[in-house]
Amino acid sequence: MIDNHILAAIFVHLITAILQLIAWRKTITQRYLSVGGTFLALIVAIRLFEKVYAEGTLTLNASNWEAPFGIVFVADLLAVTLVLLTSLAGFAVSIFSTTGLSRQRMMYGYFPIFHFLLMGLIGAFLTGDIFNLYVWFEVIIISSFVLMTLGGRKAQLEGAIKYMALNILASMFFLTGIGILYGITGSLNMADLALKIQTVKNQNLIGITSIFFILGFGIKSAVFPLYYWLPSSYHTPPSAVAATFGGLLTKVGIYAMLRVFSLIFIPDEFTKQLLLVIAVLTILTGSLGALVKTNVRRLFSYLIVCHIGFMMGGLAMFTKIALMGTIFYLIHDIMVKTNMFLIAGVIRQLRGSMDMSKLGGIYGEYPKISLLIAIVLFSLVGIPPLSGFWPKIFLFQEAFGQGQYVFVGALIIGSLVTLYVIAHMWSEVFWKNAPEQSLLENKFAPMPLFKKILLILPVAILAGASLYIGLYAEGIVQVADRISNDLIDTTPYIEAVLGPKR
Amino acid sequence: MELLLILVLGLMYAAGVYLILRRSMIKLLLGIMMMGNGTNILIFVMGSITRGAPPVINSNHNIFQDIYADPIPQALILTAIVISFALSAFAIVLLKRAYALLQKDDLDDLNTPEEEDI
């Protein structure tokens, strides 16, 4: 079914960013525009989600070019769920940015670039054309380069060089893969590719081409041998920026893998084994890295890597239940990881540091804020009624069912280390008495109440979303169930794009 | 012609990989740019080079009559060139700023210990 509303969220961000460019250096106007724009995008995303949930996949042919020839935008349930989560995370980060960011950074265009980044993310989720996906990826990485370097401190530039080099390399692998794929099949439309790839005689060539996509998306989603750029760059930018990156950027890589490997390259035994080995090693290296870090944000960066492994494992097993686990984990992870970096920003405002040896006593001083943060940390660890718990059931169930005991072991180790690391952080940051030499400044206490609310409200919104995901798991499971059905049987997607006659 | 282009693009990929594996930041940048151009030639070759007519259909026909040149790879390359131009421009400025701060052109020196800022 053809529907023009698909692109509304993209245009909301585009227009907001352009208006903000007109209001260059008027930071107060930009703040209002940003919060208003992200709120509008959130409403648009909710309506789109409701529509797709009720009516099924919607498509839009750009400039009315028929499907396999022109660029097509496809809003299936997976895409709109991620658009909804991105919009919610974007709204929270936007509120946080109004106070959690230094004025100089706003002066040099933080807000417009932030909106371009969100636009790129939503575009990447909605496009149904593989070259168009590449273009949206470039929109994302160029915006993220600017956000990462904005401010120009030494550590930021150093992190940005590593980030830039590996992400450009990832795009290059991706583009190489697209070039070869076009040479083999003569098509760029993902639904059309799904049909044409089955008729190719030399299936080994397809297998080799898929390696380029594993490499490209692997670097972007930070899996085992390719993740080193992430922990060495994510701790450098401001917390608001790190929240957008940590919550959303690696998840685009996972989304692209889910899309490409369910639609175009159906994983064979070798690919499944390869992805599973990658997943196990990602969990192990990520969790071991998190064990030794004392800076809160570095610790969170390694936890991102660790939990990417959980999602990869679900994709590697490629059965309905495993994919349900992956989708549910993706939904939970976007909310929690965004919130974690916002919390790191709040801690930094409270104590002026993010090093655990210099922190302490926050629980005694701010019990209510600490309890709010505790909800998020419990969700991350996966204490039963909360959101991190449910996806793991599916992953464990399927891993046992398939006899993948190494992956089961990695899941257990990953979960236990997450628990240990978070418990350790809780005792160091919140329970331990503040260290003697309290030279560190508290920027939070002298703030007016309104600004305090602006800092805490986004954490509360995302914590509420996590609570909702955890306590209303039944509904989320239904969504994940439908999405994983779509991923296993892609006929509805292909028919929605190319028309029912095939 | 195709064989020549394949050799050239293989050489560009090889040179790009070699340069990326060096420790100098400038060589890293040159390597990335060289690999990007190699990718462009790859897409060009994959679109199968033919000495065909331009892809325009006569008004009295409904489909292509002769062999025609595929326009899509050229459109893809054009897009990729524009994007890689923007990325290279950004990368050059970033490396210049980093050099001004560090006074070094060695990737191994990019490890200043943590500094605290928002």
| Contact between chains at B110 and A158 (C-beta distance less than 8 A) | yes
| Contact between chains at B80 and A175 (C-beta distance less than 8 A) | yes
Annotate A391-430 with DSSP letters as a single string: HHHHHHHHHHHHT-HHHHHHHHHHHHHHHHHHHHHHIIII
Is the CB of A409 inside 8 Å of chain B's CB atoms?
no
Annotate A324-339 with DSSP letters as a single string: HHHHHHHHHHHHHHHH
Q: What pLDDT score was predicted for residue B117?
A: 45
From A397's Cα to the closest Cα of chain B, the distance in A is 42
Q: What are phi and psi of A163, to 5 degrees?
A: -60, -45
Q: What pLDDT score was predicted for residue B67?
A: 73
Q: What pLDDT score was predicted for residue A356?
A: 81
| Contact between chains at A138 and B46 (C-beta distance less than 8 A) | no
Residue B114: alpha-carbon gap to chain centroid: 34
pLDDT tens-place values along chain B, 118 residues long: 789 999 999 999 999 999 999 888 899 999 999 999 999 999 988 877 777 677 777 777 777 767 777 788 888 999 999 999 999 999 999 999 888 888 888 877 777 665 544 4
Closest to A327 measured CA to CA, from A397, A404, A410, A259: A259
| Contact between chains at B46 and A180 (C-beta distance less than 8 A) | yes
| Contact between chains at A153 and B115 (C-beta distance less than 8 A) | yes
Contact A399, A407 (CB under 8 A): yes
Domains in chain A: boundaries = 4-498
| Contact between chains at B112 and A352 (C-beta distance less than 8 A) | no
Residues 6+ apart with CB under 8 A from A182: A188, B43, B46, B47, B72, B73, B76
A-B Cβ pairs (cutoff 8 Å, strict): 103
Residues 427-486 of A with CB under 8 A from B: none
Nearest to B32 among A152, A165, A238 (CB): A165
Q: In terms of residue numbers, what domain contains B82?
A: 2-51+69-103
Low-confidence stretches of chain A (pLDDT < 50) are: none
Domain contains B58:
no
**Contact list, B20 vs chain A (CB under 8 Å):** 165, 169
Q: What pLDDT score was predicted for residue A147?
A: 92
Domain contains B94:
yes
**Would you state the torsion angle of the CA atoms of residues B60, B65, B71, B73, taken in this order, to the nearest 10 degrees?**
160
CATH of the domain at B47: 1.10.287.3510
Domain contains B83:
yes
| Contact between chains at B117 and A188 (C-beta distance less than 8 A) | no
The predicted model scores a pTM of: 0.93
**Contact list, B42 vs chain A (CB under 8 Å):** 176, 179-180
Q: What pLDDT score was predicted for residue A448?
A: 85
Is the CB of B41 inside 8 Å of chain A's CB atoms?
no
- Tell the burial category of A377 from Cβ atoms under 10 Å away from its Cβ (0-12, 13-18, 19+): buried
Contact A454, A461 (CB under 8 A): no
Domain contains B30:
yes
| Contact between chains at B91 and A295 (C-beta distance less than 8 A) | no
Q: Find the distance separating the first CA and the last CA of chain B, reported in whole Å.
A: 56
3-state secondary structure A143-207: HHHHHHHCCCCHHHHHHHHHHHHHHHHHHHHHHHHHHHHHHHHCCCEHHHHHHHHHHCCCHHHHH
Residues 272-331 of A with CB under 8 A from B: 295
Write out the two tokens for A65.
């070019």
Write out the two tokens for A361.
């006593």
